[in-house]
Amino acid sequence: MTLLEKPALNSCCTVAAVLLTLALSAPGSIAQARDRQEIGPLPEKAPPSAALVEMGRRLFFDVRVSGDGAISCATCHDPGQGFTRQLDKERQPMALSDAYPGTRHFRNAPTLINVAHKADFSDAGWGWDGHMGANLNDVIRDQITETMMMNMDMRLMHERMKQDPVYVQMCQENFNGECSSGKGRKALDAFMQTLVSKDVPFDQGTLSGEAELGRILFEGKAGCIGCHSGPYFSDGEPHNTGVPENLDVFQDPLRHVTYRAVLTNHGVPKADIWRRDVGYFLVSKDYRDVGSFITPTLRETAHTAPYMHNGMFQTLEEVVAFYVAGGGHDDPLATELQPLDLDRSEQAQLVAFVRALSSPEAPTVEKVEIPLEYEPIDNWLEVRN
């Protein structure tokens, strides 16, 4: 079913309850996906070996994983900020992520918490537009080698690991052999497997009265479950809700050149004339998908503001109000939403339920301090602002 064939949606993100009966008869419909994936706790996973996780944790904080040795994975996925957003010089969350020194990104950095579960409930690719594939190890390679991300040659990463006695010992312990970039990716994958929610009220069945009312709205009148389905609270599908453009993407030359480069590299026609984020069109090349983005998980959203692919909303209250208003109205392709009849009390209940999908305290890890024999470019965070 294409975007223009989808019925108007009266929900936070999907088909209205009054249309569910009709939608169930459509093969591959959102309603059928919802029927297959009811919301619930995340399943338990067998943990990776502690030694492999420790190797991955060290790599996650190691700036030598980037081409010029100035940034690490933790630069954009800060463990102190829910493994997402960075803070600007005023210590406020940045709506748009930075990237490799000398450039800036045009998207909001998504959280890494619970990434181990994403592929269990969706075949969609990673990233806001789904272009990176579904395999976490492949995504790690993509992000490390991507020019505007880490800009690392895997052969160089291989050599850097072999020249560090700590990695040499870790590779011997975990793989009974010498270091390689592939083994490094496996270790990073193992580390990310441990970034999971803990003591979540929803998972433990300890919802407050207000949150329980919000759950009823979520599954019923508000219809949010249509897109935010399954234990991961995402259907993994692209949707256009009319989120307003973040004009910093086009007013900041470094963000704009990054955006232009991505469009060009992915074969988007006339990359020089776009003045909006094309979203899933990057993958499908179907113009009806312009402005559509993969549904994000709602887990840990209490700790991962700002929201949406471009960080345009600072609070969950703003997000709910946006959907109550029927989404954005400036994009003619944003036909999936209709206004919701939710009063302020019901909106507060919905927010309470979404907050109950987060850990009381954001999962985090202790930073690994790695001695360096060179001086990295340590002022670029100041220069960017």
pLDDT of amino acid 133: 78
Higher pLDDT: 40 or 18? It is: 40
Q: What is the pLDDT of residues 131-144, one digit of tens each?
A: 987 789 999 999 99
Residues 6 or more apart in contact with residue 381 via CB below 8 angstroms: 89, 98
End-to-end, the C-alpha distance of the chain in Å comes to: 44
In whole angstroms, give the CA distance from residue 339 to residue 197. 32
Please choose, from the candidates 330, 322, 324, 294, the residue with its C-alpha nearest in 3D space to the C-alpha of residue 309: 294
pLDDT of amino acid 377: 63
pLDDT of amino acid 171: 98
- Kindly report the pTM of this predicted structure: 0.87
As to burial, measured by CB atoms within 10 angstroms (0-12 exposed, 13-18 middle, 19+ buried), residue 124 is buried
Q: What is the pLDDT of residues 300-328, one digit of tens each?
A: 999 999 999 999 999 999 999 999 999 99
Q: What is the pLDDT of residues 220-260, one digit of tens each?
A: 999 999 999 999 999 999 999 999 999 999 999 999 999 99
pLDDT of amino acid 134: 79
As to burial, measured by CB atoms within 10 angstroms (0-12 exposed, 13-18 middle, 19+ buried), residue 377 is middle
CA torsion, ordered 310, 111, 52, 141, to nearest 10 deg: -20
In whole angstroms, give the CA distance from residue 176 to residue 182. 14
Higher pLDDT: 23 or 263? It is: 263
For residue 279, name the pLDDT band (cuts at 50, 70, 90): very high
What CA–CA distances, in Å, run from 141 to 109, 267, 312, 347?
A: 17, 21, 29, 41
Please choose, from the candidates 13, 55, 4, 87, the residue with its C-alpha nearest in 3D space to the C-alpha of residue 338: 13
pLDDT of amino acid 7: 36
Q: What is the mean pLDDT of the chain?
A: 87
In whole angstroms, give the CA distance from residue 253 to residue 104. 9
Domains of the chain are: 3-42+201-355 (1.10.760.10), 50-197 (1.10.760.10)
**Residue 47: is the preceding peptide bond cis (ω within 30°)?**
no
What is the rounded average pLDDT of the residues 104-124?
90
Tabulate helix, strand, coil % of the chain (nearest 5).
40, 5, 55
Q: What is the pLDDT of residues 336-383, one digit of tens each?
A: 999 999 999 999 999 999 999 999 999 999 999 999 887 766 555 454
